[in-house]
C-alpha cells in the first residue's frame, strides 16, 4: 500500500494543440497554484537529534558465509521480519542460504560497487531524513522515531517499505539515469528515482501512517484529498523541498497545468468527476500514466492528485486553526473540499 504514490516522468506541457490552448490574455494575470507556505520551526531546527540510519547495504555486501546472516539477524531482526516471506518466524538454514545467494550474486555485487560509490557519502540524506523525523515528531507528539535501513536487493523488493518501527529503503532503485540497471517500470515513471527524490518520497510514504479515510467514501474527491494530504504532509515535514520533487512533475509540467487550468478544471466540472465512483474512471485521473488522455496528451498523469494537493493547501491556509494532525484524521473529504473554497478563476465563457 506504500506504493500508491510512487513514480514520475519529466513531461513537457507545451500547449500546441487547439484543444489544449487558451489565450494569453486569459492566463498571464492569474495563477491557479496555491502558494506554498514554508513553515520552518526554530524549535525543530535547533533539535540536534539525528535519524537512526543503518547502512545495511554495506553490511550485506561484506557477507562471507550464510553464518554471517545469523549475526545480521541477531542485530537487525526487523530486516528479517520484513523480508522473510513468513514474516516474523525464526529464519531457517534455508532462509540464510537463500539470502546469502542473493546478496553475494557476482553481478549484484558488481552493481553494488556502483551503488556504494553513488551513496558513499550519506551525510546530506541523513540531514534531510533527520529533519523529516524531527518535524513529524513535532506535529505528531506520539510518533516514535523508526530506524531507517538502506539496502539493495537487485531491484527485487519494493522501493520503500514502512512499518511502525522501521523504514526500509532499497537504494538500488534511486540510482538515477546513469545507473547500469534501472527498475523495470515505464520510462515516464523513472524520473523520480534519483537522489533528490529520496527524502520526499520517504516523507510521502511515512504520511500514509497518519492519513485516515472514510472507507465507505469511494468518490474521486476522496481519493484526491487522500493524495493531497500526502503531498501536504510532505511539504510540512520537508519545508524546503521543491514542489517538483514532492510530486515528481517538471517545472514545465506545473507551468502548463497553471496556464491551462480552464481546460483541466472545466473538464472535471463538465464531466461531474468529483463524485465519480467508478474505479476505472478514477484511475484515469489519479493513476500512473504519462498523460491524461481524456483531457489532452499534454496534461500530465495524476492530475487529480495535483488538484487534491491544491485543495488541501487552500483548506489549510483558510483554516489556520486546523493542525496537521487534525487534517490527517479528518475523514470528511467532501467537507474539506467545500470549506477550502478552492475554485480556480476561469476566463468568462464567450
pLDDT, tens digit, for every residue of 221-247? 999 999 999 999 999 999 999 999 999
Does 307 reside within a domain?
Answer: yes
Question: Which of 207, 223, 252 represents a domain boundary (last residue)?
Answer: 207
Does 81 reside within a domain?
Answer: yes
Does 178 reside within a domain?
Answer: yes
Gap between the Cα atoms of 321 and 12, Å rounded? 38
Residue 81 has pLDDT above 90, yes or no: no
Gap between the Cα atoms of 165 and 139, Å rounded? 18
How would residue 22 be classed by pLDDT, with cut points 50, 70 and 90? Answer: very low
Residues 149 and 281 placed together within one structural domain of the fold: no
Does 102 reside within a domain?
Answer: yes
pLDDT of residue 78: 87
Residues 31 and 54 placed together within one structural domain of the fold: no
Residues 189 and 120 placed together within one structural domain of the fold: yes
Residue 58 has pLDDT above 70, yes or no: yes
Does 202 reside within a domain?
Answer: yes
pLDDT of residue 30: 66
Residue 21 has pLDDT above 70, yes or no: no
Question: Which of 207, 236, 251 represents a domain boundary (last residue)?
Answer: 207
- Looking at 173-289, list the stretches that DSSP marks H as alpha helix, in order from N- to C-terminal side: 198-207, 220-237, 243-247, 251-259, 261-270, 279-286
Residues 294 and 154 placed together within one structural domain of the fold: no
- Cell triple for residue 186? 515505464
Gap between the Cα atoms of 246 and 196, Å rounded? 10
Does 10 reside within a domain?
Answer: no
Gap between the Cα atoms of 151 and 80, Å rounded? 12
Residue 192, SS3 per DSSP: coil
Does 159 reside within a domain?
Answer: yes
Question: Which of 207, 227, 248 represents a domain boundary (last residue)?
Answer: 207
Of 73 and 304, the structure prediction assigns the larger pLDDT to: 304
Residue from 134, 146, 140 nearest 46 by CA: 134
Residue 55 has pLDDT above 60, yes or no: yes
Residues 183 and 231 placed together within one structural domain of the fold: no
Gap between the Cα atoms of 312 and 335, Å rounded? 11
Residues 118 and 150 placed together within one structural domain of the fold: yes
How would residue 82 be classed by pLDDT, with cut points 50, 70 and 90? Answer: confident
Residues 198 and 250 placed together within one structural domain of the fold: no
- As a whole number, the mean pLDDT across the chain is 88
Residues 52 and 121 placed together within one structural domain of the fold: yes
Residues 247 and 179 placed together within one structural domain of the fold: no
> Taking residues 93-107, what's their average pLDDT?
92
Does 149 reside within a domain?
Answer: yes
Residues 119 and 60 placed together within one structural domain of the fold: yes
- Cell triple for residue 7? 513514480
Residue carrying the nine cell digits 465519480 = 276
Residue 130 is part of which domain span?
Answer: 43-207
Considering just the CA atoms, what is the radius of gyration of the chain in Å?
Answer: 22
Residues 192 and 263 placed together within one structural domain of the fold: no
Of 11 and 33, the structure prediction assigns the larger pLDDT to: 33
Residue from 313, 312, 314, 287 nearest 300 by CA: 287
> Taking residues 144-149, what's their average pLDDT?
96
pLDDT of residue 83: 73
Residue carrying the nine cell digits 523488493 = 157
Number of domains in the chain: 2
Residues 48 and 196 placed together within one structural domain of the fold: yes
Amino acid at each position: 500500500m506504500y506504493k500508491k504514490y510512487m513514480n514520475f516522468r519529466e513531461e513537457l506541457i507545451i500547449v500546441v494543440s487547439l484543444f489544449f490552448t487558451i489565450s494569453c490574455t486569459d492566463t498571464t494575470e492569474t495563477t491557479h497554484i496555491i502558494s506554498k507556505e514554508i513553515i520552518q520551526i526554530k524549535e525543530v531546527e535547533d533539535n540536534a537529534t539525528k535519524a537512526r540510519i543503518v547502512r545495511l547495504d554495506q553490511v550485506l555486501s561484506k557477507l562471507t558465509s550464510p553464518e554471517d546472516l545469523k549475526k545480521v539477524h541477531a542485530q537487525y531482526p526487523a530486516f528479517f521480519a520484513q523480508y522473510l516471506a513468513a514474516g516474523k518466524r525464526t529464519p531457517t538454514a534455508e532462509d540464510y542460504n537463500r539470502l546469502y545467494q542473493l546478496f553475494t550474486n557476482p553481478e549484484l555485487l558488481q552493481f553494488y560497487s556502483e551503488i556504494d560509490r553513488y551513496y558513499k557519502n550519506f551525510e546530506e540524506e541523513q540531514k534531510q531524513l533527520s529533519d523529516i523525523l524531527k518535524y513529524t515528531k513535532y506535529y505528531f507528539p506520539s510518533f516514535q522515531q523508526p530506524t531507517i535501513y538502506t539496502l539493495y536487493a537487485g531491484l527485487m523488493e519494493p522501493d520503500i517499505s514502512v512499518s511502525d518501527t522501521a523504514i526500509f529503503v532499497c537504494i538500488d532503485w534511486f540510482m538515477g539515469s546513469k545507473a547500469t540497471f534501472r527498475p523495470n517500470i515505464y520510462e515516464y515513471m523513472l524520473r523520480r528515482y534519483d537522489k533528490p527524490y529520496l527524502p520526499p518520497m520517504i516523507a510521502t510514504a511515512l504520511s500514509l501512517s497518519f492519513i485516515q479515510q472514510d472507507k465507505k467514501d469511494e468518490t474521486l474527491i476522496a481519493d484526491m484529498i487522500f493524495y493531497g494530504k500526502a503531498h501536504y504532509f510532505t511539504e510540512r515535514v520537508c519545508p524546503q523541498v521543491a514542489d517538483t520533487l514532492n510530486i515528481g512533475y517538471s517545472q514545465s509540467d506545473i507551468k502548463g497545468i497553471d496556464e491551462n487550468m480552464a481546460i483541466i478544471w472545466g473538464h472535471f466540472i463538465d464531466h461531474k468527476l468529483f463524485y465519480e465512483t467508478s474505479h476505472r474512471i478514477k484511475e484515469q485521473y489519479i493513476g500512473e500514466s504519462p498523460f491524461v488522455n481524456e483531457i489532452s496528451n499534454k496534461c500530465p498523469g495524476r492530475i487529480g492528485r495535483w488538484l487534491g494537493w491544491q485543495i488541501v493547501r487552500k483548506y489549510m491556509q483558510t483554516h489556520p486553526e486546523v493542525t496537521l494532525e487534525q487534517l490527517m484524521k479528518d475523514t470528511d473529504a467532501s467537507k474539506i473540499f467545500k470549506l477550502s473554497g478552492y475554485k480556480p478563476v476561469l476566463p468568462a465563457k464567450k
